[in-house]
A and B are shown apart, each in its own frame.
Chain A
C-alpha cells in the first residue's frame, strides 16, 4: 500500500509540474505576450519600461523559475483588474463553488444510482424506458439552455425560486432561504452527471444481475431485495467508483457555465470575468487551483479504489 501511495503521489506531482509549465507557456505564446494585457495602448517606451520592471524582458526559463518560486510560497500575485491578491480573490469564492459542487454531487450520485438500479431491476419496463430516454435527453441538452428554461418556469412564471445569487437580498440567512437559492443551480450542474451515473449504474447492475452468483443466490431463495442491494449493487459500485474520478472534475468545469447563468459567486464565474478582462495572473491562478483540486480528488478516488479492490494495489505498485 505504501508503494502504491508513493507511485500515485509521484504521478500527481509530475502532473502538477506539467500544469504549471503548460499554463506558463500558454500565456507567453499569446500574441504580444503577457505585457500586452496590461494595456494595449501603451507607448513603446512605457511598454519596455514596464517589461523591465516586471522582469518580462528576461529569458523564459528564468521567468518560469522565478514564478514557480513565488508560487511555491503560496503567492499567486496580484489581479490586474480587481486590484487584489489573486489568492484572496480565489479564497473568497472557492467555498461557494465547493458547496454547490458537493450538493450537486450528492444529488446526482444518490438519484443516479437509485434510478440506475431501479431500471436495471426491471429492464425494458416503462420505467426503464423513461429513465433511459430522460438520461439521453440530459446528455443532449445545452446546460445553459436548461438553466434558462428553469429560470423561466420557476422564477418568472411560478415566482417560486430566486433566479440568481447565493443569498436572499434582504439579508436573511435562514437555512430554508439559502436552500431555495441552491435548487436550480444544483439541478443544472447535476444534470449531466446524473444522466451519466444513471446509465453507468444501469449497465453495471445489468451485468452483475446476469452473473452466476446472483443466480445461485436466487436459487437459494434469498430475499430479492437483499440480492439486489447486498449482492449486485455492492459489486456494481466498483465500476461506478471509477467514473467519480471523471464526474468530480467535470463539476468544476460545469461550474463555469452554471455560475454564469445563476450569478453564483464562485470561482467559475470569476474565471469567466478573468478571461473576459484578460486578467492573466488571475487566469493562471484559477487554472492552477482547479488543477490542484482535480488532481487531489483523483488521488482520493484512486486510494478508495485501492482500498475496495486489492487487485488495483498490486497493479499500481508493480
Chain B
C-alpha cells in the first residue's frame, strides 16, 4: 500500500548528492576563495551586487557572502554532526544498559529519560547557554543532551525485543561475556535503528541551532553560521533582500536532503518499521 520505495530511494540518492555538495562546498570551498569570512576590508563596498570578484555579492560590512556561506556551513554541519554524535552516544548507552540490565537501573534511566522529555528542550538550552555562555562546545552539548531521549527509547525497545530471541540466549548459553554480547551480538542488530534515528536527528539539530541563533544564543558573530547570517540579514532586508535568501536556501537544502536520506534509510534498513517519524 505504501509508496513504492523506488521513488523514495531515488529521492534519497538525489539527497545524498545534494548533501555531499553542501559538505564539499563548506569544507573545500574556502580554499578557492581568497577572502576572509570575518575580517572587514574597507576597500570593498557594503551590499555589493554579484560581480566577478564576489559571485554572491558582499554583506553589510563589505565581506564576501560566498566565503561566509562556506564557513557558516562548516560551523553548522559541525554543530549538527557532533551534537547528534553526543545524542546518539548517550542515547545508545542509556537504551542498551536499561534494556539489557533491567530492574532498578532501567527504572532510573527511564525516569531520567522522562525527566528530560518533560522539560521543553528550548527551556533546557536557554538555561545552559545563558548560564555557561553560547560558545560552540556549549551549543553542541546543550543540543546533544536535549536530543538523546528518542534514541534511548528506540534502542531500549529494540534491545528488549532482541533479548528474547534465540540467538542471544544461545550466545549466553555458550558463555559469551556481557560486554562481548553487547558489542558483537546486540549492537550490530540495533545499528539500523540508530542510523535512521540519528540521520533524522541531524536535520532537527540544524533547525534547532538556527533557532538558537535567532534568540541570540547560537554561534556568536563575527564567526558566521547560516543561522546568524539569516538572523542578521533581517536588519538589512530593505537594503539587500538577497542576503536573506542565501543562508535560508542553504538551511532548507541541507535539512530537506537530510530528512529525505533518513526516510530512504528507514525504508532500506528497517523495512518492518512504521513510517512514523517521532523526534
Bound together: yes
Which of B37-45, B58-66, B173-181, B250-258 is found at the contact surface with chain A? B250-258
Of all chain B residues, which has the CB nearest A21? B115
Of all chain A residues, which has the CB nearest B211? A257
Q: How far apart sit A253 and B212, CA to CA, in the bound complex (Å)?
A: 12
Residue B161 CB within 8 A of the other chain: no
Residue A23 CB within 8 A of the other chain: yes
Q: Are A239 and B123 in contact (CB under 8 A)?
A: no
Q: Are B120 and A249 in contact (CB under 8 A)?
A: yes
Collect the chain B residues with CB atoms within 8 Å of residue A257's CB: 122, 211, 214-215
Residue B217 CB within 8 A of the other chain: yes
Given contacts A123-B1, A141-B252, A142-B210, contact A31 B119 (CB under 8 A): no
- Name the interface residues of A268-296: CB closer than 8 Å to any CB of B: 268, 271-272, 274-276, 278, 280, 283, 286-287, 290-291, 294-295
Residue A99 CB within 8 A of the other chain: no
Q: How far apart sit A261 and B255, CA to CA, in the bound complex (Å)?
A: 21
Residue B148 CB within 8 A of the other chain: no
Smallest beta-carbon distance B60→chain A, Å: 17
Which of B84-92, B97-105, B129-137, B188-196 is found at the contact surface with chain A? B129-137
Q: Are A30 and B131 in contact (CB under 8 A)?
A: yes
Interface size grouping (class) on chain B: 35 or more
Residue A182 CB within 8 A of the other chain: no
Q: Are A203 and B274 in contact (CB under 8 A)?
A: yes
Of all chain A residues, which has the CB nearest B252? A140
Q: Are B126 and A275 in contact (CB under 8 A)?
A: yes
Q: Are B128 and A26 in contact (CB under 8 A)?
A: yes
Q: Are A243 and B127 in contact (CB under 8 A)?
A: no
Residue A199 CB within 8 A of the other chain: yes
Q: Are A19 and B122 in contact (CB under 8 A)?
A: no
Q: How far apart sit A22 and B237, CA to CA, in the bound complex (Å)?
A: 41
Of all chain A residues, which has the CB nearest B124? A287
Q: How far apart sit A295 and B259, CA to CA, in the bound complex (Å)?
A: 29
Residue B111 CB within 8 A of the other chain: yes
Residue B31 CB within 8 A of the other chain: no
Q: How far apart sit A142 and B247, CA to CA, in the bound complex (Å)?
A: 11
Q: Are A206 and B127 in contact (CB under 8 A)?
A: no
Smallest beta-carbon distance A294→chain B, Å: 4
Collect the chain B residues with CB atoms within 8 Å of residue A1's CB: none
- Name the interface residues of B10-46: CB closer than 8 Å to any CB of A: none
Q: How far apart sit A14 and B118, CA to CA, in the bound complex (Å)?
A: 12
Determine chain B's interface SS by DSSP, over half rule.
helix
Q: Are B132 and A31 in contact (CB under 8 A)?
A: yes
Interface size grouping (class) on chain A: 35 or more
Residue B205 CB within 8 A of the other chain: no
For A142, A278, A280, A294, the residue with the greatest tally of chain B CB atoms inside 10 Å of its CB is A142
Collect the chain B residues with CB atoms within 8 Å of residue A124's CB: 3
Q: Are A249 and B276 in contact (CB under 8 A)?
A: no
Q: Are B214 and A256 in contact (CB under 8 A)?
A: no
Residue A136 CB within 8 A of the other chain: yes
Collect the chain B residues with CB atoms within 8 Å of residue A274's CB: 126
Q: How far apart sit A72 and B129, CA to CA, in the bound complex (Å)?
A: 28
Of A139, A252, A283, A298, the residue contacting B126 (CB under 8 A) is A283
Q: Are A22 and B115 in contact (CB under 8 A)?
A: yes
Q: Are B1 and A18 in contact (CB under 8 A)?
A: no
Chain A, residues 129-171, CB within 8 Å of chain B (1/0): the string is 0000000110111111100100010000000000000000000
Further pairs besides A23-B127, A144-B231: 18, Cβ < 8 Å: A15-B111, A136-B260, A137-B252, A139-B259, A142-B211, A145-B230, A196-B277, A199-B275, A202-B275, A206-B1, A207-B1, A246-B278, A254-B122, A257-B215, A268-B122, A275-B126, A278-B130, A290-B123
For this complex, 16 residue pairs linking A to B, each with C-beta atoms less than 8 Å apart, are A11-B111, A139-B259, A202-B275, A206-B1, A246-B279, A249-B117, A252-B123, A253-B121, A253-B123, A256-B122, A257-B122, A271-B123, A272-B126, A287-B127, A291-B118, A294-B117
